[in-house]
Amino acid sequence: MTKSNIPLALPDLTGNEEQYVVKAIRSSWISSTGPFVARFEAEFAAACGTRAAITVCNGTIALHLALLALDVKPGDEIIVPSLTYVATANAAKYVGGIPVFADVDRQTWCLDPKKVQTAITERTKGIIAVHLYGHAADMDEINAIAELHGLWVVEDAAEAPFATYKGRRTGSLAKIGTFSFYGNKIITCGEGGAITVSDPDLEARMRMIRGQGMDPRRRYYFPITGYNFRLTNVACAMLCAQLERYEQLVERRLQICALYRNLLRDVPGIGMQKPAGWAKTSPWLFCITIDTPEFGRSRDQVMTMLAEQAIETRPFFIPLHSLPPFRDRARADGSDLLVTEELGQTGLNLPTYTTMSDSDVRRVCEALMDTRRRITGYNTRRA
């Protein structure tokens, strides 16, 4: 009997998503004006603890819009982690900025404030802190460094909506927060994104840039060059339905990750992200690291063997400083990115989605441990 496929991620659209999308279509409000846009922006801001939220086409554009509003100039340096999705550093390049990579903390896998400090030069203008895999970065430390050097801070919260840092929600911990609603993220509308902001001037500026630069008091008058970065009412209909259930969705992800942790805790050679005392996570993809000598298999061997059991996994992000668009710059900096490099080589994402069952999680863990038993048996026979 062939086993059913366990994908890495699946959207959970089992609430009012379909009903609201149909409602949006029947109302004819299918572009970026309409009641679901306003409703989602108000409710998402409330959930994040900010004064406002602005929807945009995707999470990459949310970062791009933030950097446009912060007036990044060609040659400005922006400190970012190297262990992140490529969008974080791409956004810096869209506005002519130079991404400068800082290493991550060995426990939380988010920016190490000490490494941020040493990456600062007289050309540094800001920091993009990424809340990796659902865990908030050490924002008080990062904000304190930023304040000392007159830098702005943006939170890339694409992977961690509703996570908290010392009781405060991600998106409310810096000047601007950015989010992604791609199909595999914690809440989704297929392709979508948002910005959270509390400063009214910054909010107005970002709304203006998002809407082609149009003057809000004078229709079809464009005092600046803007973009069309708007999200549709149809997409926001889906997001309103997702947001109605966000506490449930996060809770189920926490349960899945707790079960993974319990089942894998004592397996030699498997490491996990260690949530800091101040963090309440909102888990995106469950992660492990594989210490090859101890586990008996390399990360890539494990991935292949799990794929043979119809279990989809994903390696960690390839550290951005090793990719062609960023490579030379990172070398010139003599970057010290040892933790990032180690995680990039050993890290693995396991299937994580709210509609997976506890027995699916058990099947993944058993298959994972089985990859190890097979090598142990082999070694025993040889010895």
Cβ nearer to ligand PLP, comparing 32 with 84: 84
- Taking CB under 6 A as the binding criterion, the range among 68-76, 84-92, 219-227, 299-307 that sits at the site for ligand PLP is 84-92
SS3 content of the chain, % helix, strand, coil (to 5): 45, 15, 40
What is the spatial distance between Cα 206 and Cα 225, in angstroms, rounded to a whole number?
12
Cβ nearer to ligand PLP, comparing 314 with 329: 314
Residue 187: CB minimum distance to ligand PLP, A = 12
Closest by CA to 290, choosing from 382, 371, 381, is: 371
Burial of residue 117, with CB atoms counted within 10 A of its CB: 0-12 exposed, 13-18 middle, 19 or more buried? middle
* Sheet of strand 270-271: strand arrangement: 270-271, 286-290, 347-350, 314-315
What tokens were used for 140? 């008080």
What is the spatial distance between Cα 66 and Cα 90, in angstroms, rounded to a whole number?
13
Figure out which of the listed residues 50, 88, 108, 281 binds ligand PLP, where binding follows CB under 6 A. Answer: 88
Count residues binding ligand PLP (CB under 6 A). Answer: 14
Closest by CA to 174, choosing from 137, 132, 119, is: 137
Figure out which of the listed residues 45, 130, 136, 339 binds ligand PLP, where binding follows CB under 6 A. Answer: 130
Residue 112: CB minimum distance to ligand PLP, A = 17
Residue 287, phi-psi category: left (phi > 0), alpha (psi -120 to 50), beta (remainder): beta
**Pairing state of beta strands 52-56 and 347-350?**
unpaired
- Taking CB under 6 A as the binding criterion, the range among 85-93, 119-127, 321-329, 338-346 that sits at the site for ligand PLP is 85-93
* DSSP strands (E only) in 58-191: 77-81, 98-102, 124-130, 152-156, 164-165, 168-169, 176-180
Q: Draw the binding track, 1-20, toward ligand PLP (x: CB under 6 A; -: no contact).
A: --------------------
What kind and span of H or E run contains 303? helix 299-308
Residue 180 binding ligand PLP, by CB under 6 A: yes
Residue 231 binding ligand PLP, by CB under 6 A: no
Residue 82: CB minimum distance to ligand PLP, A = 12
Figure out which of the listed residues 54, 87, 98, 234 binds ligand PLP, where binding follows CB under 6 A. Answer: 87
CA dihedral angle for residue 206, residue 191, residue 156, residue 84, rounded to 10 degrees: -140
Residue 297: CB minimum distance to ligand PLP, A = 27
Residue 109 binding ligand PLP, by CB under 6 A: no
Residue 316 binding ligand PLP, by CB under 6 A: no
Cβ nearer to ligand PLP, comparing 11 with 59: 59
What is the spatial distance between Cα 380 and Cα 237, in angstroms, rounded to a whole number?
58
Asked whether 67 and 73 are in contact (CB, 8 A), the reply is no
Would you call 368 helix, strand, or coil by DSSP? helix
Tokens 């947001």 belong to 243
Q: Draw the binding track, 37-76, toward ligand PLP (x: CB under 6 A; -: no contact).
A: ---------------------xxx----------------
Figure out which of the listed residues 67, 146, 158, 279 binds ligand PLP, where binding follows CB under 6 A. Answer: 158
Residue 14: CB minimum distance to ligand PLP, A = 22
Burial of residue 147, with CB atoms counted within 10 A of its CB: 0-12 exposed, 13-18 middle, 19 or more buried? exposed
Residue 156 binding ligand PLP, by CB under 6 A: yes
- Taking CB under 6 A as the binding criterion, the range among 156-164, 225-233, 336-344, 363-371 that sits at the site for ligand PLP is 156-164
Q: Draw the binding track, 276-305, toward ligand PLP (x: CB under 6 A; -: no contact).
A: ------------------------------
Figure out which of the listed residues 193, 271, 283, 296 binds ligand PLP, where binding follows CB under 6 A. Answer: 193
Figure out which of the listed residues 105, 138, 159, 203 binds ligand PLP, where binding follows CB under 6 A. Answer: 159
Residues that bind ligand PLP (CB under 6 A): 58-60, 84-85, 87-88, 130, 156, 158-159, 180, 182, 193
